[in-house]
């Protein structure tokens, strides 16, 4: 475990909600089914079965009261959680008390088993000492993720939307959708024009009929298209999954997210396996067998995890499957070697092997889940957001974003048709109606020509308002502000062509993306400074790992060269921390600014 992961874990277990006392009795009760399986409660007579179960329940009731007493004492001192060392000590002591009470009650009731009071107390002490803290960290991770889930999803969706736009998919969808809408509008307009012109050609002198045709078009045909687009926008918007929060969804997303995180250090993971799996699966075996099995698990498990970790570096695209394979293979091969070496005790044990196999299988599944959930505590929020973005599924995310883009375009056109175009045609109808009272044929002809001209107007796609340099800058920064902390300083009052403005925006966004995705930065600072009336400087610094080795190639170098040809530099930040990108941007047809 490196220093960063160690500091993150310490921060997690020291949070107010971490290792919450109200969850501790619940952890210990999870151990109850394993005890029944290990003790083979069904091989006893009916009375002894009841007595054995009663002893187990009594032991857990005592344990429950034990932790409630601790909770009460801590509440009096206005403390909500325990530190990890104290939790381990109190957990082991509670387990010993629970085992001793169960064993003493069994002796008192006259139930003869292969375990003494000391055996039960010692085993329960070891189980609680090792298993409970791991579960406490798992619940702490679940509580933390559940509390921040909505924010994590929002930031992950923002990353997906930015990648969607950078890939040019948004522009392609807009182009195709708007083309279909305009084609439909043109067809509807041409059909109405034919009716209008046919009425005139048939010699109808009263323009009232003609204006009525236009009113019907404006109020029915055209607005029907608007309503269709609006309904389409509503339907597409509903496809996007809501971000409601509940315990099961939070747990499932945290479990799935863990497989998209990089592999945990092999030594840390094998230690987690030892503390979670062995105490549950080896209860009832002699101490020598437990010790030998623990050594086997450590050697075989560590070797398997260490070798399989290299697969992640070779095939990063298969990261989730490799992470699942690491846990499965470590447990499977460790169990296989342990069974081969300890077959005298494991395969030919005096008690029934089936309950132990069931208990081992349950412990196997539980270990996989606990490891996956605990894993998230070793990574920062930024790493979890990246993993969550990958776990959502690129294809599914792109489909959702495409549907959302179609919904936005449809809604824009619905408003445009319902308002601008319909109002124009109603204006044409009003012009015709105003010419009815008069007898001047010239005025009538002029009114008809004017109305026809309005109807003949092209349904052009509404041009988007172009952004200024600072508007483009703020737009790009705003997109990333929900993902990474960004500070901006300075203002540039300079006019640049729209293509140069867009290039500058792309360069800024690429620098922010590099800082977050590759530099693992949590903060970016941007300084803007005018050099003269034709050029300005943009300095982008972050607190990441530093990307100075990509000085002239890779990581957006072509974008930086495009906006500042020969006048940009990427280097390490102050004191060798982070990355500093310096762009000297000049207006077109202006001599470049030399490096200073």
The percent of the chain in helix, strand and coil, each rounded to the nearest 5, is 70, 5, 20
In a domain, 386, yes or no: no
Residues 517 and 449 in one domain: no
Q: Residue 87 in contact with residue 136, Cβ under 8 Å?
A: yes
The pLDDT value recorded for residue 238 is 58
525: exposed, middle or buried (Cβ count in 10 Å: 0-12, 13-18, 19+): middle
In a domain, 489, yes or no: yes
The pLDDT value recorded for residue 352 is 46
Give the mean pLDDT of the chain: 69
Residues 5 and 62 in one domain: yes
DSSP state of 592: P
In a domain, 591, yes or no: no
pLDDT in tens, 429-454: 666 666 655 556 666 676 667 666 76
In a domain, 256, yes or no: no
Domain final residue, candidates 117, 133, 166: 166
Residues 50 and 161 in one domain: yes
The pLDDT value recorded for residue 237 is 58
- Report the pLDDT averaged over residues 500-528: 83
- Report the pLDDT averaged over residues 63-87: 68
Select the more confidently predicted residue: 104 or 357.
Answer: 104
The most distant pair of C-alpha atoms in the chain lies apart, rounded to whole Å, by: 120
Domain final residue, candidates 433, 456, 479: 456
Domain final residue, candidates 166, 197, 215: 166
Residues 499 and 554 in one domain: yes
Residues 177 and 277 in one domain: no
pTM of the model as a whole: 0.52
In a domain, 383, yes or no: no
Residues 10 and 153 in one domain: yes
Residues 158 and 172 in one domain: no
Range of the domain at 545: 469-586
- Report the pLDDT averaged over residues 415-425: 64
Number of domains in the chain: 4
Residues 1 and 133 in one domain: yes
Identify the band that residue 100 occupies on the pLDDT scale cut at 50, 70 and 90.
Answer: confident
The fraction of the chain above a pLDDT of 90, given in percent, is: 1
- Report the pLDDT averaged over residues 23-37: 53
Residues 403 and 536 in one domain: no
pLDDT in tens, 176-211: 777 777 777 766 666 666 666 665 555 444 545 455
Identify the band that residue 99 occupies on the pLDDT scale cut at 50, 70 and 90.
Answer: confident
pLDDT in tens, 150-160: 777 777 777 77
- Report the pLDDT averaged over residues 571-588: 82
Residue with tokens 């009425």: 199
Q: Residue 173 in contact with residue 167, Cβ under 8 Å?
A: no
In a domain, 250, yes or no: no
Enter the tokens of residue 462: 């509404």
Residues 417 and 270 in one domain: no
C-alpha closest to that of 102 among 45, 11, 32: 32
In a domain, 543, yes or no: yes
Identify the band that residue 286 occupies on the pLDDT scale cut at 50, 70 and 90.
Answer: low
Residues 404 and 317 in one domain: no
- Report the pLDDT averaged over residues 478-494: 82
Of the spans 33-37, 161-165, 323-327, which averages the highest pLDDT? Answer: 323-327
Residues 189 and 200 in one domain: yes
DSSP state of 242: P
């Amino acid at each position: 475990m490196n220093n960063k992961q160690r500091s993150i874990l310490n921060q997690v277990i020291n949070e107010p909600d971490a290792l919450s006392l109200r969850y501790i009795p619940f952890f210990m009760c999870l151990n109850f089914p394993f005890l029944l399986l290990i003790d083979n409660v069904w091989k006893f007579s009916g009375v002894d079965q009841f007595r054995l179960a009663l002893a187990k329940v009594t032991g857990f009731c005592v344990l429950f009261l034990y932790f409630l007493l601790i909770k009460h004492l801590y509440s009096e001192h206005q403390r909500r959680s325990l530190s990890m060392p104290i939790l381990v000590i109190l957990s082991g002591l509670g387990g010993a008390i629970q085992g001793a009470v169960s064993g003493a009650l069994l002796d008192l009731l006259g139930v003869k088993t292969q375990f003494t009071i000391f055996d039960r107390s010692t085993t329960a002490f070891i189980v609680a000492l090792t298993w409970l803290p791991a579960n406490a960290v798992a619940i702490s991770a679940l509580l933390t993720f559940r509390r921040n889930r909505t924010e994590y999803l929002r930031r992950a969706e923002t990353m997906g939307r930015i990648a969607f736009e950078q890939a040019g998919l948004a522009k392609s969808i807009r182009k195709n959708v708007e083309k279909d809408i305009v084609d439909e509008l043109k067809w509807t307009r041409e059909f109405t024009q034919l009716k209008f012109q046919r009425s005139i050609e048939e010699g109808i002198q009263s323009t009232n009929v003609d204006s009525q045709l236009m009113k019907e078009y404006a109020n029915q045909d055209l607005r029907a298209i608007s309503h269709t687009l609006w309904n389409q926008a509503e339907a597409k918007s509903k496809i996007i999954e809501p971000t409601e929060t509940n315990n099961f969804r939070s747990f499932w997303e945290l479990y799935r997210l863990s497989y998209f995180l990089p592999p945990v250090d092999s030594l840390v993971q094998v230690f987690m396996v030892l503390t979670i799996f062995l105490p549950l699966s080896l209860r009832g075996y002699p101490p020598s067998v437990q010790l030998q099995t623990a050594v086997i698990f450590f050697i075989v498990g560590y070797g398997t995890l260490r070798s399989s970790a290299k697969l992640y570096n070779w095939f990063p695209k298969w990261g989730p499957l490799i992470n699942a394979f690491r846990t499965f293979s470590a447990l499977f091969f460790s169990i296989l070697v342990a069974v081969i070496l300890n077959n005298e005790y494991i395969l030919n044990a005096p008690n029934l092997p089936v309950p132990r196999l069931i208990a081992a299988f349950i412990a196997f599944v539980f270990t996989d889940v606990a490891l996956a959930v605990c894993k998230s505590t070793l990574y920062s929020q930024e790493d979890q957001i990246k993993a969550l973005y990958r776990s959502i599924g690129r294809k599914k995310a792109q489909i959702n974003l495409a549907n959302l883009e179609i919904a936005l375009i449809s809604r824009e056109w619905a408003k445009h048709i319902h308002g601008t175009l319909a109002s124009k045609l109603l204006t044409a109808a009003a012009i015709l109606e105003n010419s009815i009272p008069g007898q001047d044929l010239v005025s009538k002809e002029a009114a008809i020509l004017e109305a026809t001209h309005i109807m003949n107007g092209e349904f052009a796609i509404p041009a988007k308002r172009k952004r200024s340099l600072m508007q483009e800058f703020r737009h790009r920064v705003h997109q990333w502000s929900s993902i990474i902390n960004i500070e901006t300083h300075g203002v540039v009052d300079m006019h640049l062509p729209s293509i140069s403005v867009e290039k500058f925006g792309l360069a800024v966004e690429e620098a922010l993306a590099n800082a977050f995705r590759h530099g693992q930065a949590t903060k970016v600072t941007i300084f803007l400074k005018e050099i003269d009336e034709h050029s300005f400087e943009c300095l982008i610094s972050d607190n990441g790992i530093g990307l100075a080795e990509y000085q002239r190639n890779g990581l957006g170098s072509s974008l930086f060269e495009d906006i500042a040809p020969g006048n940009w530099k990427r280097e390490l930040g102050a004191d060798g921390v982070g990355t500093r990108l310096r762009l000297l941007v000049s207006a077109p047809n202006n001599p470049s600014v030399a490096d200073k």
